[in-house]
Amino acid sequence: MYCRHDWLHELAIEYDSSTFDTDPFELEATAVRTIFPFAVNGGQNGAQYVELPYTLPQDFTLFVLLKEKSISTWKEKLDWIVKHGGMALIITHPDYMDFGTRRARLGQYPVEYYKQFLDYVNSRYGGQYWNVLPREIARFWKERHKDGKLCSGVPRRRNLRVCMPAYSFYETDNRVIRYAETLAKRGDRVDVIALRQSGQSEFEEINGVRVFRIQERILNEKGKLDYLLRLLRFFFRSAKVITANHLRAPYDLIHVHSVPDFEVFVALVPKLTGSKVILDIHDIVPEFYASKFEESPAGALFKILVAIERLSIRFSNHVIISNHLWEQKLIGRSVPADKCSVILNYPDPAIFHRREKTRTDGKQIVMYPGSLNYHQGLDIAIRAFSRISGEFPEAELHIYGDGAEKERLAELADSLELDGRVRFFGGVPIKDIAVAMADSDLGIVPKRDNAFGNEAFSTKILEFMSLGVPVLVSSTRIDRFYFSDKVVQFFKAQDEDDLVEKLLFLLKNQSFRQTLSAGALEMAHDYSWDLKKGKYLDMVDALSGVDRGKDNKRI
């Protein structure tokens, strides 16, 4: 392992892999200390080759010399590499593997260890990695760095410290997870301040994201005052945690998730000391509140909420809005056009990708995943389902999620005597909900077209589309804005009769469902988070004053 990279130019090679990153098991101490490829200059006429450091311990070292009996070291190192967005390169030796075809000799290890490692890569990180040949990564790397200036392979961008307060359960909030894990994977330090479900720990690190659960939440709030008091309690607790963390190690960015939008003021101390602030408006608060508590948009309380919205936006450095209709509305009343950006709830293809169904029970499953609030129109869906249940005795309506309407919806299902064919599953982590959605036959998004529901974008539509599951969607303004009849089946909003008709048609016509799915998959590919996350990362780096430079553009 004694290696002089400059000598290797004499071999006129395209790439080499004779050095390690920081292998603690090697006797040679001259590690290259990077988990990225790097160009080696110095050859005649400016020739260079690409060094591909191996970043996982060799099999011989682990299993023959150190006599390890499991692949735990490989798994731990791989997880660390993934967290930092690097290259996983492993050197294995078939002559040290026992394939079970002859009597095992000393100095061999079971080939099952290698199989277990490949299974681990596929099961944990399927859809997230580029499975590439050495010459392909070498050529790719040289093309990215034609000027040869990037020789160390170590990113020059400094890692950021980011905090994300969100009045939600982190494990089920797809939008917050996508932002947080995207930053963490490139090496940024991300703290999320969130709610706690019963039995959860107050702190946990999840895929490189530090999650502080500061307040337990009961979803069935008892009226407006109770709801407001819980928001205020979270506001003061999150402000205390953020300020304390910031004074110990300053944050570069506070990315605040609304509802409520006044949560942005928890960043007061960080902003006064130089941090930048993003306000991410998942739902516009005045319309959301009016829908939740049946308030008039012409009332005094609505106007007060609009005033708070304006103050919150003015305090922030930049505003992210979750769809284009709300962008138009907020530009008209609260935010300058150059201070806001639209980022939809794009599905993460590592989680939401087409897969085979695992269910073999012969049932027809219609599924809704999401919040159980009035504007979601689930009472309409339950009544419509009760009307078609006699014709489809194997059909069931599965509802995943929690919210203020859950008890009332359960009572409605009981009153219609559906004998357990409307099933409630509660909220589940994002990876589990993807599996359940993929196993369904039809997704349903039955929103009302009231002032809020008519313009609230549902990420579940794109997620169903990414999984190859056809979707039955209420014909709201927002969904007509983004989708067409070629990718989803629409029904008239709040029209139970039309919903019944469309349900019957879809359940009877598997070929039409397959046609919808094919068109939806094509559209979903263009709405992938992998393709869109660059916009968010550019925004974060620009606000934080980070200059990547042309030698450190993202892959």
| pTM (predicted TM-score) | 0.69
Residues 6+ apart with CB under 8 A from 285: 258, 259, 260, 261, 305, 308, 309
pLDDT at 103: 57
CATH class of residue range 161-346+531-552: alpha beta
Rounded CA gap, 397 and 420, in Å?
Answer: 9
pLDDT at 514: 93
Helix/strand/coil for 189: strand
Superfamily assignment of 364-527 in CATH? Glycogen Phosphorylase B; (3.40.50.2000)
pLDDT at 341: 96
pLDDT at 418: 87
pLDDT at 546: 74
- The pLDDT averaged over each successive group of 10 residues in the chain (555 residues) is 70 86 65 84 76 90 89 93 91 87 72 92 84 86 63 57 96 93 90 94 94 85 81 96 96 96 97 97 90 80 94 97 95 94 92 89 94 94 96 95 91 91 91 94 95 91 96 97 96 97 95 93 88 90 72 36
Selection from 317, 297, 292, 254 nearest residue 456 by Cα: 292
pLDDT at 105: 65
Q: How many CA atoms lie within 13 A of 89 on its CB side?
A: 25
370 and 401 in contact (C-beta within 8 Å)?
A: yes
pLDDT at 162: 98
439 and 358 in contact (C-beta within 8 Å)?
A: yes
Structural Rg of the chain based on CA atoms:
27
Rounded CA gap, 35 and 307, in Å?
Answer: 49
DSSP type of residue 369:
E
Rounded CA gap, 399 and 382, in Å?
Answer: 10
DSSP type of residue 159:
P
pLDDT at 427: 86
DSSP labels, 383-433: HHHHHHTTT-TTEEEEEE---TTHHHHHHHHHHTT-TT-EEEEE---HHHH
- For the chain, what are the domain ranges? 5-144, 161-346+531-552, 364-527
DSSP labels, 115-158: HHHHHHHHHHHTTTS----HHHHHHHHHHHTTT----S----SP
pLDDT at 224: 81
286 and 330 in contact (C-beta within 8 Å)?
A: no
Q: Write out the two tokens for 96.
A: 């040290």
User: Is 364-527 the same fold as 161-346+531-552?
Assistant: yes
